[in-house]
Structure 1
Amino acid sequence: MKRKEVILFMTVGTGTNLNINEENSKNHAQKLYYTINKIRPDKVIFFASDKSKGTVEYIEELFQKDNDEFILDEDYQIVIINAIDDLNTCFEAYESKIWELDYEDDGDYDIIMDYTSGTKTMSAAMASCGMFYSKDLISVGGDRSTGEVSRGTEIINYQNIYKIYDKFALMRTRNNFNANRFRACIDILNYIVDLNIHKDSLMHLCKAYYAWDNMDFEDAYDHLRKVNLNQVEFMEVKNDIKFNLKALGNIINSKSVNLKNCYILASLINNSIRRSEEFKYDDAIARLYRSFELIAQIELTKYNIKSSDIDVSVLKQNNVSDEFIMDLEKTREDGKIRIGLEKDFMLLNELGNDLGKYYVDNESKIKNLTRKRNNSILAHGLDSLTQNDFDEFLDIVLNLSYSLDKDMKKFIKQTKFAKFDLKLKLNKN
């Protein structure tokens, strides 16, 4: 396999003396020459000011003394930075060269960035740029008893910055979590290696909400129970997770069918709200439509009626009119009467139920909304829905859900996904 070429980035300063003179430049050149000889790159790119670029000439002389060559454009290149105390200018100079090598040139390179020399701003910018683009960072250390590294004591330090990468990954995870991109969170967490970060609990957290977002309540409950809420990463969301865990527990374990169904409904409503926050209004309204339908189905169970298999004898016991029953009989297929959203609410109205009455009183508005849903790209048509369509539909669904159960506001609050406070400086140590 062909060896990758090594490109060494080096900042060129003036040593400890702000006044550039021949002695300072020669001393500085000697230190840069030491690093070049140790790394033995295929090419060096110096980042210097107009005042410090002359130092490179002394590096050429050092190569000549060792019977070697150091040729401009072949072995090295000089990039001039005019504003050496401006962080953005320095960063962009390094970044531009990385892009040129990594994305514009056909070569296959490993870039090593030595941020030892130059102004403090040049060094800070190079370290930041190297971390941002995942390049190897080195610095030259040694005996500093005289204030700078003494000649002959130099040691090249490769900077292992995995902790920084992991903390950056943690912040990316928190951002993605708040944006409901739970699969992305899981992918990012797989790369964390710092044992001080409670990766396992974070993984269970993201898998729990990924499952819940897909309405897989059992898997969500199983993962969320495994999150250690006493760990530092969860201190700001601890109470919200406890609410969420209680809600999932009721969905999985409650012996009350009504309580379980109400929590499922609340989860579905929150699911639709999350889609709307992502501007996916067709998707959001599809979920609202199912919520709307579920409200009627939950209410019908209180009469021991299943809309997927209507028992006519139960309707008669509840004094439903013969005319309405005859109308339902016309839809019987395979021995069963199955009814949809509109008939669900009309049946509730026949039963003298308040939800059915609400539907009849708002029938024109509701039919207009359901018509838009039916014409959407995710239903039977090609239309795209808007935020205003969603807001109107949500208002109807919430009004009906509050009438369905007096505790529905609590259920919706408990099924709202936990969110991290992204302003919190989690890793203060």
Structure 2
Amino acid sequence: MTVRNQDVQRILVLNVGLPSQQGPETRSEMYAIQRTQPHHVVFVCSEASRALVREYVRLANLGPERHEVLTLEDPDDLVLVYEQVSAALHRLQSRWPEASVVVDYTAGTKSMSCATAMAAVDCEDDKVTLRLVRGQRGEGSTVVPGTETHRPVQRIHDLRARRRLASLRAALARYDYVAAGAGIEEIIDSDISSQLAERCRPIRDLCRAFDAWDRWELQTARQLFTAYRSYPAGRQPAFERLAVLAQLTVVAEAARDGADLAAARDPYVAVEDLLLNAERRATQGRYDDAVARVYRALELLAQLRLRIAYGVDTADVDPGKLPEQARGRIDGDPEGEPRKLGLWRAWEVLAAYPHEPLAAWFAESRDRLWDFLAVRNQSILAHGVTAVSRREWEGKGQAALDLCRVALRRLSEAKVRKPLRHMQFPRDELLDGVSDGA
């Protein structure tokens, strides 16, 4: 009788040991077949065990279409057995993708048991489970007939999940919170223990929070961090970031609504945030993006300084608020559109104010900033048609980033900035204590 694919819902992959004085009907292999009631059996055996396989086929009344024999080339070669069993599992999954696969590694050589279990764990399929015949041990350490149980190996899905979590470290190492969060979501949705799921859930939410922040979806990030407070085992550094997020939200809303920033705790933290973002893009090899963010950080620093210290809006400049020697640097039509200041003109105007703490910094940095602007302007994300190379980033982009940080320190030293503590986003340390099974 032909077995249709849809009729195969349960498959047994069964290690077979060497023949012995014990009758085949009382051996662990036969017990596993009886308890599993498989629609298809794959016997994993050595050449010396093929005769025993024929007895199991007869006793279980397994027709040719309901069983197959995987004869191992060398049952003591762990790697070779692993490769043969892995190939068999892959073939079964391809032929019957909806079937559950029970892998019994009770019998066989030590290498067979170890390799078969490894192959089952490594197949990364929740429908593949491990089972073991257990019972009271008698003479020769064999299970005494009548005392057997066919028990599943507990938490195999947790073992697979931790291995998958470990593989996500590479994504987090490059700040790829989208890939890491999606991978953790798949793990949570798999058949893992509730304890491991509860440990994974906050990490997934943190990945989503940092991804939202990375894209400057600040309200979403704040909501996710606030929700994270409800988890019993929180990471304190994540809580500390809420103050920075709140300040970034203030800056974003003020820029949109024209609100006053003078009373804000540290609006300049938005510049720091852009620099950290640029570093993340550089880590990913996205040097054009990194350069664009450094450019925006330098521009935003001048805009914030002019607005907070002198009430000058670079998008709509009131010439009366500028030093007299700087009024000729305004772009735009005085009779028509609002008069504006671009990055370089904004810095020239800012440096013209008496006692401005960043005036000396700008004078010292002009040449290096100009070199950076040349790289930025040639970028495909600015006015050019070329990509910023790693060498250009390391030579000019990183230098401009460092200069911007010097400027922020000058503001702190001049007591015009009370800096909030800001830090780079976490990477694979988010998984510490989970992927390693601690």
TM range (shorter): 0.7 to 0.9
- 2:245 corresponds to which residue? 248
Structure 1 residues 146-225: aligned runs within 5 Å: 146=138, 147-159=141-153, 161=155, 162-168=157-163, 171=166, 176-190=171-185, 191-192=187-188, 194-196=193-195, 197-225=198-226
Report the CA distance shift for 1:210/1:64 in structure 2 as closer, same or farther (over 3 A). Answer: closer
RMSD across aligned C-alpha pairs, in angstroms? Answer: 3.6
Q: 1:336 aligns with which of 332, 335, 338?
A: 338
Q: 1:57 aligns with which of 28, 32, 51?
A: 51
- 1:308 corresponds to which residue? 315
For residues 335 and 424 of structure 1, what CA distance do their matches in structure 2 show?
55
Q: 1:398 aligns with which of 397, 405, 412?
A: 405
For residues 432 and 205 of structure 2, what CA distance do their matches in structure 1 show?
22
- 2:15 corresponds to which residue? 11
Structure 1 residues 3-402: aligned runs within 5 Å: 3-4=7-8, 6-14=10-18, 22-23=20-21, 26-27=23-24, 30-49=27-46, 53-64=47-58, 68=61, 71=64, 75-82=67-74, 84=76, 86=78, 88-102=79-93, 110-133=100-123, 134=125, 135-146=127-138, 147-159=141-153, 161=155, 162-168=157-163, 171=166, 176-190=171-185, 191-192=187-188, 194-196=193-195, 197-228=198-229, 231-232=232-233, 234=234, 237-238=235-236, 240-252=237-249, 256-257=262-263, 259-301=265-307, 302-315=309-322, 319-321=323-325, 324-328=326-330, 330-332=332-334, 334-352=336-354, 353-387=356-390, 388=394, 389-402=396-409
Offset of 1:165 from its aligned partner? 4.2
Q: Is the 8 A contact 2:272 2:405 kept in 1?
A: no
Q: Which amino acid aligns with 1:401?
A: L
Segment drifting more, 419-428 vs 389-398: 419-428
Offset of 1:215 from its aligned partner? 1.6
Q: Which amino acid aligns with 1:211?
A: A
SS at match of 2:285: coil
Q: Is the 8 A contact 2:75 2:81 kept in 1?
A: yes
Report the CA distance shift for 1:308/1:225 in structure 2 as closer, same or farther (over 3 A). Answer: same
Matched residues, number: 406
Offset of 1:274 from its aligned partner? 0.9
Q: Is the 8 A contact 2:292 2:376 kept in 1?
A: yes
Q: Is the 8 A contact 2:169 2:431 kept in 1?
A: no
Structure 1 residues 403-418: aligned runs within 5 Å: 403-406=410-413, 411=419, 414-418=422-426
Task: Point out where structure 1 has 5 or more consecutive residues left out of the alignment.
Answer: 15-20
Report the CA distance shift for 1:204/1:142 in structure 2 as closer, same or farther (over 3 A). Answer: closer
Q: Which amino acid aligns with 2:296?
A: R
Q: Which amino acid aligns with 2:423?
A: T
List per-residue Cα deviations over 1:388-411 (Å, max 9, x = no partner).
243223223222332233389995
Offset of 1:84 from its aligned partner? 2.4
Report the CA distance shift for 1:284/1:329 in structure 2 as closer, same or farther (over 3 A). Answer: closer
Task: Point out where structure 2 has 5 or more consecutive residues left out of the alignment.
Answer: 252-260
For residues 164 and 149 of structure 1, what CA distance do their matches in structure 2 show?
27
Taking structure 2 as the reference length, the TM-score comes to: 0.78
Report the CA distance shift for 1:425/1:220 in structure 2 as closer, same or farther (over 3 A). Answer: closer
Q: Is the 8 A contact 2:12 2:101 kept in 1?
A: yes
Offset of 1:261 from its aligned partner? 1.9
Q: Is the 8 A contact 1:243 1:415 kept in 2?
A: no
Q: Is the 8 A contact 2:14 2:103 kept in 1?
A: yes
Offset of 1:370 from its aligned partner? 1.3
Report the CA distance shift for 1:47/1:4 in structure 2 as closer, same or farther (over 3 A). Answer: closer
For residues 12 and 59 of structure 2, what CA distance do their matches in structure 1 show?
22
Offset of 1:371 from its aligned partner? 2.0
For residues 350 and 245 of structure 1, what CA distance do their matches in structure 2 show?
36
Offset of 1:173 from its aligned partner? 6.0
Offset of 1:199 from its aligned partner? 4.9
- 1:17 corresponds to which residue? none
Segment drifting more, 388-397 vs 399-408: 399-408
Report the CA distance shift for 1:309/1:292 in structure 2 as closer, same or farther (over 3 A). Answer: same
- 1:18 corresponds to which residue? none
Report the CA distance shift for 1:409/1:155 in structure 2 as closer, same or farther (over 3 A). Answer: farther
Report the CA distance shift for 1:108/1:417 in structure 2 as closer, same or farther (over 3 A). Answer: closer
Taking structure 1 as the reference length, the TM-score comes to: 0.79
For residues 200 and 270 of structure 2, what CA distance do their matches in structure 1 show?
29
